[in-house]
Amino acid sequence: MKSNNTPNNQSKLEKEKGIIPLLLSVFFITVVSGITTHLVSGFMSWKQFTYLAHLASGLILSLALIIYTVRHFKRTAGVRRAMVLFTGLLSVTLLYLLAGSGIFIIIFSVTETTRWVFTSHTILSYIAILFVFIHLIAHRYTYNKPASQADFQWFITIHKKNLHTSLRPLIIVILSIAILSILYDLFSYQYKTSALIQPYELPYGQHPFRPSQTETSNKTHFVDEKQIAGSNACGTCHTQIFNEWKQSIHSQAASDPTYVTNIELLAKKKGIASTRYCEGCHSPVALLTGQLSKGGKHGGVNGTIANKEGVSCLSCHGIERAVHLKGVASYEFSPAKDYLFASSENFLARKIHNLLIKINPQEHRKTLSRPILKNPELCATCHVQFMDKDMNNWGWIKMQDEYSAWLNSHFSGQSEHAFSQQKNINCQNCHFPKVNGADPSANKQGEIFSHRTLGANTAIPFLNNDVQQLLLTKKFLQSNKVSLSIEKPVRKDATHNSLYIDEKIRAQQETPYFLYLGETENIKLTITNLLVGHNFPGGTTDINQVWVYFRVSDAGNQTIYESGSLNSNKEVDPSAHFYRTVPIDKNGAEVWRHDLFNKTGESYRNVIPAGETDVIEYPFKVPFWAKGPLKITALLKYRKFNQRYARWALHDENIDLPITDVARGGLTIPLYVKPNIEK
């Protein structure tokens, strides 16, 4: 074998040895920090600082590795030791792959679609370390004196001098992490666990959130504003989801002008502490931070954080479980675990905070993507409602209950109903459907859960001039979830032919239908709740307005019969067929302002359960002046807020909220003169 102990090779060896201390130092720091973060459970501050140390040392190691491998291969190009060559090339390849995957994670972050990169990075690290040691052992036991004397001496140098020198930076980094962690824990922002307003009133018993049914994970403690607000920070990474949420009714649950009117009325009549009943669902920030006491501000107050946040990102993603299924904000809120500098407003600190989430989102995913988020019980905590004696001075009454309506439907898979829809569908399937989106939470198909929470509120996007949200809401309402059909009139005196024709050769099996002038007819209309997962209509059925418009006209468009039309004040014909509830107070008067703290019962309820049909009859007489054929038009119409309530709540006598045609049907009926047949 040719000797490597030449002046040129000695020069190359000296250059190679020059990078060894740095290479070994960052190698040890990277290995120890990586193994520590992988094997040690928990999410303490020192572990997060260790992640940062691993990131920094990994980047330096990548650069040092490039320099070293170039110098090393220049020097050893002529050495022919198969095992050393093979393990060396494999080690370098693995280390480059490891460095590449690490840099990829830093740049692109660990998303749902790139989680495999993080897994590969972890597995590769152990394999790479193993082959580095195999390479060193192969080098140790395959040298050949004196030809490889220089190599052997270099190997001994690594083990003695450089090894000791390289361990010092590791010790310094460990001590630095320990000191930084202690200082961070001592001087970082301490979350408040007491109410913002002092003294805090307890007129509904010792529980701080009553009459809301809300709990916190520490039972009687309040939540710091920083632990439940700050949705803008979520938008820095989840931009599309944030923008959708911003347009949703959830984000405007506290700033909705009709809610503001009602919550101010409640506060005026029963005191601000009573607003806890509503705020648990409409403004969790105000409730959980302890604002709702004398001297505080409820979520309806313009300019407050609670008003801007509404149902914030963390309001839902911080829910640990449903306390019970009776509603009125019956959830347990548990703040998410913090990454470093979570409460800081400093630009650099926020960058470090976001970087930690990007490179290690496991804890972020664990604490903010909890199992309850995919469970309909989550929706039951707010979309179910009851009123107790504490509020109405009367007694316990049941109110809105979308969860039980869904549970009793065929969609839940937990009822005895047989229906054409075989697949179980829950609340989230309809109101948080999967859509295409470029987001860290997107699945392998590039889909995210839409956070528009489309439902039936057309008023808020209309008032905000939010054309996109309004159009999407109308499209949602018109997506054939409810069907309408007009039954053709059945005539016993109608025949195709007076001659006998074998049934097998009949070309037409349907009996013809028509009407005579002067004849009285009773047209039946059927409305079926096909795909609404709960009763139709749902939600605030006392102030929502759903009705049937029915019109019979002749060929000259002259009206023969009409029901459900609007007058000049945009009010619906009171004789129309409505789907609604009429709440009443203890004196039997209608509670039309949605001041439900006065409600003690209902005088009227008409809704269509999921999978069921309502049949309506419209009798009319065909006038002799009518020109055939007759045209029958039927529309199922929807308006968010009836006109009386809208004028009061929006303080606008000329308000004209949009009306949506949810379903429609039409029928043309031939018109004849009845023949004069003598007996």
| pLDDT tens figures, 299-328 | 999 999 999 999 999 999 999 999 999 999
Tokens read off for 628: 């055939």
Q: What is the pLDDT of residue 490?
A: 82
Mean per-residue pLDDT of the chain: 90
- In this structure, of 121-125, 279-283, 309-313, the range with the lowest mean pLDDT score is 121-125
Return d(Cα 318, Cα 368) in angstroms, integer: 6
Tokens read off for 310: 């509404």
Percent of the residues in the chain that have a pLDDT greater than 70, as a whole number: 90
Average pLDDT over residues 420-427: 74
Q: How far is CA 45 from the centre of its chain?
A: 29
Whether 581 and 605 have beta carbons less than 8 Å apart is answered as yes
pLDDT for 604-661, tens place per residue?
Answer: 999 999 999 999 999 999 999 999 999 999 999 999 999 999 999 999 999 999 999 9
Where is 281: in which H helix or E strand? helix 276-282
- Nearest CA to 634 among 610, 616, 621, 657? 616
Q: How confident is the model at residue 457 (pLDDT cuts 50, 70, 90)?
A: very high
DSSP tag of 580:
-
Which has more pLDDT, 8 or 487?
487
Average pLDDT over residues 198-209: 95
User: Which residue is it, tokens 């809208």?
Assistant: 646
Asked if pLDDT for residue 535 goes beyond 80, the answer is yes
User: Which residue is it, tokens 């590769």?
Assistant: 124
Which has more pLDDT, 114 or 314?
314
Whether 360 and 110 have beta carbons less than 8 Å apart is answered as yes
Which stretches within 289-371 are classed as H helix? 305-309, 313-317, 347-359, 362-368
Sign of the dihedral defined by the CA atoms of residues 68, 73, 74, 78, in that order: positive
Return d(Cα 584, Cα 315) in angstroms, integer: 33
Return d(Cα 33, Cα 231) in angstroms, integer: 32
Q: How far is CA 283 from the centre of its chain?
A: 17
b (16+ CB within 10 A) / e for 477-509: beeebbbbebebbeeeeeeeeeeeeeeeeeeee
Average pLDDT over residues 531-559: 96
Whether 280 and 328 have beta carbons less than 8 Å apart is answered as yes
Percent of the residues in the chain that have a pLDDT greater than 90, as a whole number: 74
pLDDT for 552-594, tens place per residue?
Answer: 999 999 999 999 999 999 999 999 999 999 999 999 999 999 9
Asked if pLDDT for residue 30 goes beyond 70, the answer is yes
Whether 242 and 235 have beta carbons less than 8 Å apart is answered as yes
Asked if pLDDT for residue 143 goes beyond 70, the answer is no
Asked if pLDDT for residue 16 goes beyond 90, the answer is no
Task: Specify the pairing of strand 331-333 against strand 215-216.
Answer: parallel
Asked if pLDDT for residue 411 goes beyond 80, the answer is yes
- Report yes or no on whether pTM surpasses 0.85: yes
Three-state SS for 614? strand
DSSP tag of 162:
I
Q: How confident is the model at residue 5 (pLDDT cuts 50, 70, 90)?
A: low
Q: What is the pLDDT of residue 423?
A: 74
- In 136-220, where do the E strands start and end? 215-216
Q: How confident is the model at residue 78 (pLDDT cuts 50, 70, 90)?
A: low
Neighbours of 339 (CB within 10 A): 20
Return d(Cα 458, Cα 471) in angstroms, integer: 9
Return d(Cα 248, Cα 255) in angstroms, integer: 12
Q: How confident is the model at residue 3 (pLDDT cuts 50, 70, 90)?
A: very low
Return d(Cα 411, Cα 306) in angstroms, integer: 35
Q: What is the pLDDT of residue 159?
A: 55
Asked if pLDDT for residue 419 goes beyond 60, the answer is no
Q: How far is CA 569 from the centre of its chain?
A: 39
User: Which residue is it, tokens 């994970």?
Assistant: 217
Return d(Cα 319, Cα 324) in angstroms, integer: 13
Residue 230, phi-psi category: left (phi > 0), alpha (psi -120 to 50), beta (remainder): left
Exposure on the CB side of residue 612, measured as CA atoms within 13 A: 16
User: Which residue is it, tokens 């690594």?
Assistant: 158
Whether 558 and 628 have beta carbons less than 8 Å apart is answered as no
Asked if pLDDT for residue 679 goes beyond 90, the answer is no
Which has more pLDDT, 35 or 493?
35
Asked if pLDDT for residue 9 goes beyond 70, the answer is no
Neighbours of 144 (CB within 10 A): 13
